[in-house]
Amino acid sequence: MIRVGLIGYGYSGKTFHAPLIGSVAGLDLRLIGSGDAARVAADFPGLPVAGDPVAVATADAVDLVVIASPNVSHAPLARAALAAGKHVVVDKPFTLDLAEARILHAAARSRGRLLAVFHNRRWDSDFLSVRRAIAAGVIGPVRHFESHFDRFRPQIRDRWREGGGPGSGIWYDLGPHLVDQALQLFGLPDRVTANLARLRTGGLADDWVHAVLDYPNLRVVLRASLLVAGGSPRFVVHGVAGSLVKRRPDPQEGQLLAGLAPGAPGWGEDPDGLEIHDGAGAVTQAPAAAGDQRQFYRGVVETIARGSVDDAAALEAVRVMACLEAAFTSARTGMSVGLPLAPDERDR
Protein backbone atom coordinates (compact mmCIF):
# COMPACT_ATOMS: atom_id res chain seq x y z
CA MET A 1 0.00 0.00 0.00
CA ILE A 2 1.14 3.52 -0.83
CA ARG A 3 0.57 5.70 2.23
CA VAL A 4 -0.91 9.07 1.26
CA GLY A 5 -0.81 12.44 2.95
CA LEU A 6 -3.29 15.01 1.60
CA ILE A 7 -2.52 18.68 2.16
CA GLY A 8 -5.65 20.82 1.94
CA TYR A 9 -9.28 19.93 2.57
CA GLY A 10 -11.01 22.77 0.77
CA TYR A 11 -13.04 22.34 -2.39
CA SER A 12 -10.46 20.37 -4.36
CA GLY A 13 -9.22 18.19 -1.52
CA LYS A 14 -12.68 17.29 -0.26
CA THR A 15 -14.51 17.03 -3.59
CA PHE A 16 -11.90 15.38 -5.82
CA HIS A 17 -8.79 14.06 -4.12
CA ALA A 18 -10.12 12.34 -1.01
CA PRO A 19 -12.91 10.41 -2.78
CA LEU A 20 -10.69 9.39 -5.70
CA ILE A 21 -7.82 8.33 -3.44
CA GLY A 22 -10.22 6.29 -1.33
CA SER A 23 -11.58 4.50 -4.40
CA VAL A 24 -8.26 3.34 -5.90
CA ALA A 25 -6.67 0.07 -4.83
CA GLY A 26 -3.13 0.48 -3.57
CA LEU A 27 -3.64 3.88 -1.93
CA ASP A 28 -4.15 4.36 1.81
CA LEU A 29 -5.04 7.85 3.04
CA ARG A 30 -3.14 8.17 6.33
CA LEU A 31 -2.96 11.88 7.12
CA ILE A 32 -4.70 15.13 6.11
CA GLY A 33 -3.29 18.61 6.53
CA SER A 34 -6.01 21.15 7.28
CA GLY A 35 -6.76 24.13 9.49
CA ASP A 36 -10.31 22.82 9.96
CA ALA A 37 -9.97 19.53 11.83
CA ALA A 38 -13.72 19.35 12.48
CA ARG A 39 -14.46 19.38 8.75
CA VAL A 40 -12.08 16.50 8.19
CA ALA A 41 -13.40 14.55 11.17
CA ALA A 42 -16.94 14.78 9.83
CA ASP A 43 -15.84 12.77 6.79
CA PHE A 44 -12.96 10.74 8.25
CA PRO A 45 -13.51 10.07 11.95
CA GLY A 46 -10.30 9.11 13.65
CA LEU A 47 -8.00 10.03 10.76
CA PRO A 48 -5.02 12.10 11.96
CA VAL A 49 -5.15 15.79 11.01
CA ALA A 50 -2.12 18.10 11.03
CA GLY A 51 -2.45 21.87 11.18
CA ASP A 52 1.05 22.35 9.75
CA PRO A 53 1.18 21.45 6.02
CA VAL A 54 4.96 20.98 6.13
CA ALA A 55 4.45 18.28 8.76
CA VAL A 56 2.37 16.34 6.22
CA ALA A 57 4.87 16.95 3.42
CA THR A 58 7.69 15.46 5.51
CA ALA A 59 5.84 12.87 7.62
CA ASP A 60 7.56 9.50 8.05
CA ALA A 61 4.17 7.76 7.78
CA VAL A 62 3.62 9.04 4.23
CA ASP A 63 5.01 7.85 0.87
CA LEU A 64 2.97 10.08 -1.46
CA VAL A 65 2.12 13.71 -0.75
CA VAL A 66 -0.90 15.22 -2.53
CA ILE A 67 -0.92 19.02 -2.48
CA ALA A 68 -4.38 20.58 -2.79
CA SER A 69 -3.66 23.80 -0.89
CA PRO A 70 -3.83 27.38 -2.26
CA ASN A 71 -1.77 27.89 -5.41
CA VAL A 72 0.86 30.09 -3.80
CA SER A 73 1.90 27.19 -1.53
CA HIS A 74 2.31 24.54 -4.24
CA ALA A 75 6.00 25.07 -4.99
CA PRO A 76 7.33 25.36 -1.40
CA LEU A 77 5.35 22.35 -0.21
CA ALA A 78 6.40 20.27 -3.21
CA ARG A 79 10.05 21.20 -2.58
CA ALA A 80 9.73 20.13 1.06
CA ALA A 81 8.10 16.83 0.13
CA LEU A 82 10.68 16.00 -2.55
CA ALA A 83 13.52 16.87 -0.18
CA ALA A 84 12.00 14.39 2.30
CA GLY A 85 12.04 11.68 -0.38
CA LYS A 86 8.31 11.65 -1.10
CA HIS A 87 6.46 11.14 -4.35
CA VAL A 88 4.33 14.20 -5.08
CA VAL A 89 1.04 15.04 -6.81
CA VAL A 90 0.28 18.75 -7.11
CA ASP A 91 -3.13 20.15 -7.94
CA LYS A 92 -3.18 22.57 -10.84
CA PRO A 93 -1.58 24.95 -11.45
CA PHE A 94 1.77 23.24 -10.94
CA THR A 95 3.48 26.45 -9.81
CA LEU A 96 3.09 30.20 -10.20
CA ASP A 97 5.75 30.50 -12.89
CA LEU A 98 8.07 28.55 -15.15
CA ALA A 99 11.15 29.15 -12.98
CA GLU A 100 9.50 27.38 -10.03
CA ALA A 101 8.37 24.56 -12.31
CA ARG A 102 11.93 23.97 -13.50
CA ILE A 103 13.26 23.84 -9.94
CA LEU A 104 10.73 21.19 -8.99
CA HIS A 105 11.36 19.20 -12.17
CA ALA A 106 15.08 19.11 -11.43
CA ALA A 107 14.49 18.11 -7.80
CA ALA A 108 12.19 15.22 -8.76
CA ARG A 109 14.58 13.99 -11.45
CA SER A 110 17.60 14.07 -9.14
CA ARG A 111 15.76 12.10 -6.44
CA GLY A 112 14.01 9.63 -8.75
CA ARG A 113 10.59 10.55 -7.41
CA LEU A 114 7.26 10.88 -9.17
CA LEU A 115 6.15 14.47 -9.58
CA ALA A 116 2.85 14.95 -11.39
CA VAL A 117 0.12 17.54 -11.74
CA PHE A 118 -3.44 16.40 -11.00
CA HIS A 119 -4.68 16.47 -14.60
CA ASN A 120 -7.88 14.58 -13.82
CA ARG A 121 -9.59 16.16 -16.82
CA ARG A 122 -7.71 13.84 -19.16
CA TRP A 123 -10.28 11.27 -18.06
CA ASP A 124 -13.41 13.37 -18.59
CA SER A 125 -16.09 11.91 -20.85
CA ASP A 126 -16.18 14.99 -23.09
CA PHE A 127 -12.44 15.00 -23.77
CA LEU A 128 -12.24 11.22 -24.18
CA SER A 129 -15.11 11.32 -26.69
CA VAL A 130 -13.49 14.01 -28.81
CA ARG A 131 -10.06 12.43 -28.55
CA ARG A 132 -11.41 9.06 -29.69
CA ALA A 133 -13.19 10.60 -32.69
CA ILE A 134 -10.12 12.59 -33.76
CA ALA A 135 -7.90 9.50 -33.49
CA ALA A 136 -10.37 7.51 -35.59
CA GLY A 137 -10.19 10.11 -38.36
CA VAL A 138 -13.93 10.81 -38.21
CA ILE A 139 -13.50 14.38 -39.52
CA GLY A 140 -10.10 14.00 -41.15
CA PRO A 141 -7.10 16.12 -40.15
CA VAL A 142 -8.13 18.79 -37.64
CA ARG A 143 -7.72 22.43 -38.65
CA HIS A 144 -9.63 24.25 -35.88
CA PHE A 145 -10.04 23.03 -32.30
CA GLU A 146 -12.08 25.02 -29.80
CA SER A 147 -12.35 24.20 -26.10
CA HIS A 148 -14.55 26.06 -23.62
CA PHE A 149 -14.47 25.76 -19.85
CA ASP A 150 -17.25 28.10 -18.81
CA ARG A 151 -19.23 28.69 -15.64
CA PHE A 152 -21.85 31.17 -14.48
CA ARG A 153 -20.74 32.93 -11.32
CA PRO A 154 -21.71 36.58 -11.70
CA GLN A 155 -21.19 37.42 -8.03
CA ILE A 156 -17.68 37.96 -6.68
CA ARG A 157 -17.03 35.47 -3.90
CA ASP A 158 -14.78 35.98 -0.88
CA ARG A 159 -12.17 33.33 -1.73
CA TRP A 160 -8.49 33.40 -2.55
CA ARG A 161 -9.09 32.27 -6.16
CA GLU A 162 -10.90 35.56 -6.83
CA GLY A 163 -8.96 37.84 -4.49
CA GLY A 164 -6.39 39.19 -6.95
CA GLY A 165 -3.36 37.79 -5.11
CA PRO A 166 -0.64 35.54 -6.54
CA GLY A 167 -2.11 32.47 -8.21
CA SER A 168 -5.66 33.83 -8.42
CA GLY A 169 -7.78 34.19 -11.53
CA ILE A 170 -9.40 31.97 -14.12
CA TRP A 171 -6.27 31.32 -16.20
CA TYR A 172 -4.49 29.75 -13.22
CA ASP A 173 -7.69 27.91 -12.27
CA LEU A 174 -9.04 26.53 -15.57
CA GLY A 175 -6.21 27.32 -17.98
CA PRO A 176 -4.09 24.31 -16.92
CA HIS A 177 -6.92 21.93 -17.90
CA LEU A 178 -7.46 23.62 -21.26
CA VAL A 179 -3.75 23.73 -22.09
CA ASP A 180 -2.99 20.21 -20.93
CA GLN A 181 -5.77 18.72 -23.04
CA ALA A 182 -4.55 20.64 -26.10
CA LEU A 183 -0.98 19.44 -25.56
CA GLN A 184 -2.17 15.87 -25.12
CA LEU A 185 -3.82 16.04 -28.54
CA PHE A 186 -1.47 18.18 -30.59
CA GLY A 187 1.84 18.64 -28.75
CA LEU A 188 3.57 21.97 -28.24
CA PRO A 189 2.38 25.01 -30.22
CA ASP A 190 4.65 27.46 -31.99
CA ARG A 191 3.14 30.57 -30.45
CA VAL A 192 0.49 31.70 -27.96
CA THR A 193 -1.73 34.77 -28.25
CA ALA A 194 -3.98 35.59 -25.32
CA ASN A 195 -6.37 38.18 -23.92
CA LEU A 196 -7.34 38.15 -20.24
CA ALA A 197 -9.96 40.41 -18.67
CA ARG A 198 -11.99 41.19 -15.57
CA LEU A 199 -15.57 41.44 -16.80
CA ARG A 200 -17.50 41.18 -13.54
CA THR A 201 -18.14 44.42 -11.70
CA GLY A 202 -15.71 44.73 -8.81
CA GLY A 203 -13.58 41.79 -9.93
CA LEU A 204 -10.01 41.65 -8.63
CA ALA A 205 -8.75 38.74 -10.73
CA ASP A 206 -9.15 37.75 -14.37
CA ASP A 207 -12.48 36.02 -14.98
CA TRP A 208 -12.39 35.76 -18.80
CA VAL A 209 -9.72 34.46 -21.16
CA HIS A 210 -9.38 33.86 -24.89
CA ALA A 211 -6.14 32.16 -25.91
CA VAL A 212 -5.04 30.93 -29.33
CA LEU A 213 -2.32 28.33 -29.79
CA ASP A 214 -0.69 28.42 -33.23
CA TYR A 215 0.34 25.19 -34.93
CA PRO A 216 1.20 24.58 -38.59
CA ASN A 217 -2.17 24.22 -40.37
CA LEU A 218 -4.05 24.26 -37.06
CA ARG A 219 -5.41 26.81 -34.63
CA VAL A 220 -6.45 25.86 -31.09
CA VAL A 221 -8.79 28.28 -29.34
CA LEU A 222 -9.06 28.05 -25.55
CA ARG A 223 -11.77 30.01 -23.76
CA ALA A 224 -12.94 30.29 -20.17
CA SER A 225 -15.44 32.63 -18.56
CA LEU A 226 -17.39 33.03 -15.34
CA LEU A 227 -20.26 34.74 -17.16
CA VAL A 228 -21.62 31.95 -19.36
CA ALA A 229 -24.97 30.47 -18.36
CA GLY A 230 -24.73 27.25 -20.34
CA GLY A 231 -24.62 28.73 -23.83
CA SER A 232 -21.33 27.36 -25.16
CA PRO A 233 -20.48 23.84 -26.33
CA ARG A 234 -17.64 22.21 -24.43
CA PHE A 235 -15.79 21.36 -27.67
CA VAL A 236 -16.13 22.37 -31.32
CA VAL A 237 -13.69 20.73 -33.74
CA HIS A 238 -13.44 21.34 -37.49
CA GLY A 239 -11.53 19.08 -39.85
CA VAL A 240 -11.13 18.76 -43.60
CA ALA A 241 -13.95 16.17 -43.76
CA GLY A 242 -16.44 17.53 -41.21
CA SER A 243 -16.96 18.82 -37.69
CA LEU A 244 -17.48 17.51 -34.16
CA VAL A 245 -19.52 19.14 -31.42
CA LYS A 246 -19.61 18.02 -27.78
CA ARG A 247 -22.15 20.20 -26.05
CA ARG A 248 -22.29 19.26 -22.39
CA PRO A 249 -19.37 18.75 -19.99
CA ASP A 250 -18.35 15.61 -18.16
CA PRO A 251 -20.67 14.72 -15.23
CA GLN A 252 -18.11 13.55 -12.65
CA GLU A 253 -17.70 16.81 -10.72
CA GLY A 254 -21.46 17.04 -10.30
CA GLN A 255 -21.62 13.39 -9.27
CA LEU A 256 -18.95 13.92 -6.62
CA LEU A 257 -20.75 16.99 -5.28
CA ALA A 258 -23.94 14.94 -5.09
CA GLY A 259 -22.15 12.33 -2.99
CA LEU A 260 -21.84 9.57 -5.60
CA ALA A 261 -18.84 7.39 -4.82
CA PRO A 262 -16.34 6.90 -7.65
CA GLY A 263 -17.08 3.58 -9.33
CA ALA A 264 -20.70 3.43 -8.19
CA PRO A 265 -23.34 2.52 -10.79
CA GLY A 266 -23.64 5.36 -13.27
CA TRP A 267 -20.23 6.79 -12.42
CA GLY A 268 -18.85 8.81 -15.36
CA GLU A 269 -21.70 7.87 -17.69
CA ASP A 270 -22.48 10.76 -20.02
CA PRO A 271 -25.86 10.83 -21.81
CA ASP A 272 -24.79 13.71 -24.04
CA GLY A 273 -23.44 12.18 -27.23
CA LEU A 274 -21.03 13.55 -29.80
CA GLU A 275 -22.47 15.35 -32.83
CA ILE A 276 -20.72 14.52 -36.11
CA HIS A 277 -21.37 16.87 -39.03
CA ASP A 278 -20.26 15.81 -42.49
CA GLY A 279 -19.64 17.98 -45.53
CA ALA A 280 -23.06 17.24 -47.01
CA GLY A 281 -24.91 18.64 -44.02
CA ALA A 282 -25.84 15.34 -42.41
CA VAL A 283 -25.61 15.07 -38.62
CA THR A 284 -25.10 11.80 -36.77
CA GLN A 285 -24.77 11.05 -33.08
CA ALA A 286 -22.07 8.93 -31.45
CA PRO A 287 -22.35 7.84 -27.81
CA ALA A 288 -20.04 9.60 -25.38
CA ALA A 289 -17.19 7.68 -23.84
CA ALA A 290 -17.53 7.05 -20.12
CA GLY A 291 -15.31 9.24 -17.96
CA ASP A 292 -13.31 7.91 -15.03
CA GLN A 293 -11.00 10.25 -13.13
CA ARG A 294 -9.87 7.32 -10.97
CA GLN A 295 -7.53 6.55 -13.85
CA PHE A 296 -5.26 9.39 -12.77
CA TYR A 297 -4.55 7.81 -9.40
CA ARG A 298 -4.40 4.32 -10.89
CA GLY A 299 -1.58 5.62 -13.07
CA VAL A 300 0.16 7.01 -9.99
CA VAL A 301 -0.03 3.61 -8.30
CA GLU A 302 1.32 1.82 -11.38
CA THR A 303 4.19 4.28 -11.78
CA ILE A 304 5.31 4.06 -8.15
CA ALA A 305 4.90 0.27 -8.12
CA ARG A 306 7.32 -0.08 -11.03
CA GLY A 307 10.06 1.19 -8.74
CA SER A 308 11.80 3.15 -11.48
CA VAL A 309 10.30 6.60 -11.99
CA ASP A 310 11.24 8.87 -14.89
CA ASP A 311 10.59 12.59 -15.17
CA ALA A 312 7.97 12.42 -17.95
CA ALA A 313 5.07 13.71 -15.84
CA ALA A 314 7.15 16.54 -14.38
CA LEU A 315 8.31 17.54 -17.86
CA GLU A 316 4.70 17.66 -19.03
CA ALA A 317 3.97 19.99 -16.12
CA VAL A 318 6.83 22.28 -17.18
CA ARG A 319 5.45 22.44 -20.73
CA VAL A 320 1.97 23.36 -19.53
CA MET A 321 3.46 26.05 -17.31
CA ALA A 322 5.39 27.45 -20.28
CA CYS A 323 2.12 27.83 -22.21
CA LEU A 324 0.38 29.48 -19.25
CA GLU A 325 3.27 31.90 -18.82
CA ALA A 326 3.39 32.70 -22.54
CA ALA A 327 -0.31 33.56 -22.38
CA PHE A 328 0.24 35.94 -19.45
CA THR A 329 3.06 37.62 -21.37
CA SER A 330 0.93 37.90 -24.51
CA ALA A 331 -1.98 39.40 -22.60
CA ARG A 332 0.34 41.94 -21.01
CA THR A 333 2.21 42.95 -24.19
CA GLY A 334 -0.45 42.46 -26.84
CA MET A 335 1.92 40.29 -28.87
CA SER A 336 2.10 36.64 -29.88
CA VAL A 337 4.69 34.84 -27.78
CA GLY A 338 6.80 31.77 -28.46
CA LEU A 339 7.22 29.18 -25.74
CA PRO A 340 10.15 29.95 -23.42
CA LEU A 341 11.40 26.35 -23.41
CA ALA A 342 14.94 25.00 -23.78
CA PRO A 343 15.61 22.42 -26.53
CA ASP A 344 15.77 19.52 -24.05
CA GLU A 345 12.38 20.60 -22.62
CA ARG A 346 10.84 20.44 -26.11
CA ASP A 347 12.31 17.39 -27.77
CA ARG A 348 11.67 14.53 -25.36
214-233, pLDDT tens digit by residue? 999 999 999 999 999 988 99
**Can you list the domains of the chain with their CATH numbers?**
2-120+296-311 (3.40.50.720), 121-291 (3.30.360.10)
Q: pTM of the prediction?
A: 0.96
- 296-347, pLDDT tens digit by residue? 999 999 999 998 899 999 999 999 999 999 999 999 999 999 999 999 999 8
Say how many CA atoms lie within 13 Å of 265 toward its Cβ. Answer: 0
Provide CB contacts within 8 A for 1, sequence distance 6+. 26, 27, 28
Mean pLDDT value of segment 187-192: 98
For 29-39, the pLDDT digits (tens) are 999 999 999 99
Q: What is the DSSP secondary-structure string of 108-136?
A: HHHHT--EEE--GGGG-HHHHHHHHHHHT
- Is residue 198 within 8 A of residue 230, CB to CB? The reply is no
Between CA 209 and CA 60 the distance in angstroms is 42
pLDDT band with cut points at 50, 70 and 90 for residue 348:
low
Q: Using the 8-state DSSP alphabet, how is residue 14 labeled?
A: I
Could you tell me if 205 and 153 are in contact, meaning their C-beta atoms sit under 8 angstroms apart? no
